[in-house]
Structure 1
Amino acid sequence: MLLFEASHTSHTRAQTGIQRVVRSLFAELEKRDRVAPVCFDPHQGAWRALNAGELATLRDRHGAAGSRGAKWTLAQQIAGHVRRLAGRRAALPAATGLLVPELFSAKVAAQLPALLARVRGPRVAVFHDAIGLKFPELTPPATVARLPAYLRELAQFDGVAAVSEDSAASLRDFWQWAGLAHTPPVQAIPSAWLPPAPRARTHRPPARRRACCA
């Protein structure tokens, strides 16, 4: 079973580039019935499987305009606190792999070691881009401030799948600049794209031959 970390996308209807990748990946993996989506519940203080409402949000590929931030409803907050106060321990399925396709928050990052320790097989993160470092004026200040720590945290995975060769090079360059001694392999796996449909060929009648005079 592959654990699929979706703490953010399961709590937002935004359709940023990252959210589209996360939802598309999940949709394909779900077809194979070998994926278990999970989130870190800050109100319960534990990793757990998504509930029905969170799963519906993760599956929602239409989305809506609004904030990109994760929103926890009052009901979700109360339920999390109740589980924590009752001492309920969240049970996650035995996993042979882990995929983290999001740009995770500092709160989630602090809890990642516990999740990584549960997984016997390969643990892979998806890296989208370093636009926040290259063009900070085009990026929300909070994201710019978060990126250096996030890029370092990616080094704890067994491997990183970058969405482009440029993203892969940016990550390797940052690790080298930061002087990290041990880093995992980074493989560029460009996002899928659909080739343009072939143009319909217009049938043209054969040109008339000119009559030849003797």
Structure 2
Amino acid sequence: MIKLESVSLSYADTCVVDDLSLHIHSGELFVLHGPSGIGKTSLLELAAGVSAPNSGRVLHAGKTRAVAFQDDALVPWLSARDNLLFALSGRFSLQKRQQQADQALARFELPPKALPPEMSGGMRRRLNLARAFSAEADMLFLDEPFAFLNERWHTEIKNELAQCCARGGAAFVVTHDLAPLLGTPATFAKISAAPVSPATLHFENDTP
């Protein structure tokens, strides 16, 4: 469903991803971990189509994508509800968008009329994730989704990931903390050093 073929990415003179191939299948949760500043986010952005490789190509079998970056990137002058509606523009009918937004607000316990600057950091994180999950996309890309959230929300995130995979989608998760995913069926891979390459991306058969 998500396929990277011999992709390379450089910023100025720094190689970040070097001739890497990766295939994430329908129904698969792919979890990438490793130290900070080693290329995890760059690889996720390549896989999501947010950035383009210098060489190689990225293929998507799914029709729709949703991304939740580590930085919330919320629209500060829009309410929580309007942030969700804006993110869903073009995906569903107006009635469906409103239904998805209201359900997400209730599920993530968010005040509909609150503006992002009025929210706590945890609330903004939940709104950021709610935007991605409410899209019901074929492909989910989440960068550090568990950061600054407690176990109550870790469980909700895992449920959403499971639903995505159960409906035949695929999910790509970047995290430095594997504890919330212990026991979760997934493909785990670790980056040991920069740049990300076949020599530094190590697949793990069992949950670490």
TM-score bracket for the superposition, by shorter chain length:
0.3 to 0.5
**Hey, which of these two has a bigger chunk of helix by percent?**
1
**Greater relative contact order (Cα < 8 A, sep 6+):** 2
**Hey, which of these two has a bigger chunk of strand by percent?**
2
Flag the structure with larger Rg.
1
